[in-house]
Amino acid sequence: MTTTPTRPAEAPTQDTTAEAGYDVAAVRQQFPILARTVAGHPLRYLDSANTSQKPERVIEAVATHYREHNANVARAMHQLGAEATEAYEGGRSRIARFIGATRAEEVVFTKNASEALNLAAHTLGAGLREGDEVVVSVAEHHSNIVPWQLACERTGATLRWFDITEDGRLDLAAAERDGLINERTKVVSVAWVSNVLGTVHPVRKIADWAHSVGAVMVVDGCQGVPQLPTRVADLGADLLAFTGHKMVGPTGVGVLWGRYDLLASLPPFLGGGEMIEVVRMTGSTYAPPPARFEAGTPPIAEAAVLGVAADWLDELGMEQVAAHEQAITRYALEGLQSINGLRVLGPTEAVDRGGAISFTVGDVHPHDMAQLLDSRGIAVRGGHHCARPLHERLGVQSSTRASFYLYTTQEEVDALVEGVAHTVRFFGGTP
């Protein structure tokens, strides 16, 4: 078996990204999990596009909610019910402020971003007819493809998509040439930031294009909202889906933001408690947004704590988070591309690019890569990252993805680069 020289002892974490406007080492100390070891090595968590780690304040807030304020919302006529409702609605107001929404009623809580996108596809789909067109891109996560396929199957509408260029950006020129967005287009839905390629898509430009033909612009903000300052008005979206757990918040809560007048024009999604106005056996009327889209007991603690996560992020500063992401991505792109035979999928320079880097190297399978890296404490994702059509388009079966966040250090990236090189040697290649 191959052996490698062990790394010289060094400080476990140090702030090595000069560009970060904050002390990365101090920030890391707020994340208890980052202090643990895996397989005898310090954990190097490079899978934040999958889910982010949580700071102590968020972890504590979950426990505090259940210890002190737990009750159901909106219907309990007692003190705890009032406190739980205030916490839940407080989360809604806080998220509205985090994304620059004009009113809290524009924020609908779901269980995750997939549900938010399904809500969008189902309710917008109710207005689709045969001959209508829905436009997505080949670079989307399955969550922004399959709900639209289902809507098109139900209604007879046609699904079309943006292709990508060789360097992994949306091919706007081809779309223009082919009349991709036209008078038949009713919905355009694309990711703000690709979860595989890291590409930041020109959402504003596409939104203006969609609006010029009267189409609704839906944006999958799963990778964008956690990394970039978000102002929904600047983004140009009519609906924006994102999730709590990728932005240092808890799992179990997603968000669909929508322009109020659009939300008010949409039919219900799921039926049940809290989404109604008057129920009669002969038919019911429905509550205004956001309650119309929140049937049943919502993710109360999760939504309340998502507000705490937004506080935490805003205190750090989303501008600084974005700057750190940019710096660490640039550093990782340089390091990884020094490895012989390594192919970065997507933009190879840190321009209009988020902190997810997917790559292939020689014929080492991403599963083998991920497992060898895991044995050195390095957590990455291997597979198609819920974007099989994109991998097919790129002519690869799967890839290894390293993704970074506000707590990622250059030392972790160094360990990744060394781990990848080691894995290539292990399988008989020359890194």
Binding site for another protein (CB under 8 A): 1-3, 39, 365-368, 371-372, 374-376, 382-384, 388, 391, 397-398, 426-428
By beta-carbon proximity to another protein, the closer residue of 104 and 396 is 396
Cα–Cα distance for residue pair 163/159, rounded to 1 Å: 13
CB of 56 to another protein, least distance (A): 29
Cα–Cα distance for residue pair 268/233, rounded to 1 Å: 25
Q: First CA to last CA across the chain, in angstroms?
A: 17
Query: 3-state SS of the chain: helix, strand, coil percent to 5?
Result: 40, 20, 40
Cα–Cα distance for residue pair 219/235, rounded to 1 Å: 9
CB of 376 to another protein, least distance (A): 8
CB of 237 to another protein, least distance (A): 31
By beta-carbon proximity to another protein, the closer residue of 343 and 388 is 388
CB of 184 to another protein, least distance (A): 33
CB of 360 to another protein, least distance (A): 12
**Residue count of the chain:** 431
DSSP secondary-structure letter at 345? E
By beta-carbon proximity to another protein, the closer residue of 250 and 366 is 366
Cα–Cα distance for residue pair 354/49, rounded to 1 Å: 10
Please name the residue ranges forming H helices in 337-409.
366-374, 388-394
CB of 359 to another protein, least distance (A): 16
Cα–Cα distance for residue pair 345/168, rounded to 1 Å: 7
DSSP secondary-structure letter at 65? I
CB of 366 to another protein, least distance (A): 8
Cα–Cα distance for residue pair 364/39, rounded to 1 Å: 22
Q: What is the DSSP string of 312-343?
A: HHHHH-HHHHHHHHHHHHHHHHHHHTTSTTEE
Token output for 37: 């070891």
Cα–Cα distance for residue pair 151/187, rounded to 1 Å: 11
DSSP secondary-structure letter at 180? -
| 8 A C-beta contact, residue 388 and residue 195 | no
- Residues forming the active site: 386
By beta-carbon proximity to another protein, the closer residue of 2 and 285 is 2
Please name the residue ranges forming H helices in 65-112.
79-98
Nearest 10 degrees: Cα torsion 167, 172, 173, 179: 140
Preceding peptide of 290 cis, ω within 30°: yes
CB of 170 to another protein, least distance (A): 23
By beta-carbon proximity to another protein, the closer residue of 239 and 361 is 361
Cα–Cα distance for residue pair 418/429, rounded to 1 Å: 14
By beta-carbon proximity to another protein, the closer residue of 368 and 414 is 368
By beta-carbon proximity to another protein, the closer residue of 141 and 160 is 141
By beta-carbon proximity to another protein, the closer residue of 284 and 430 is 430
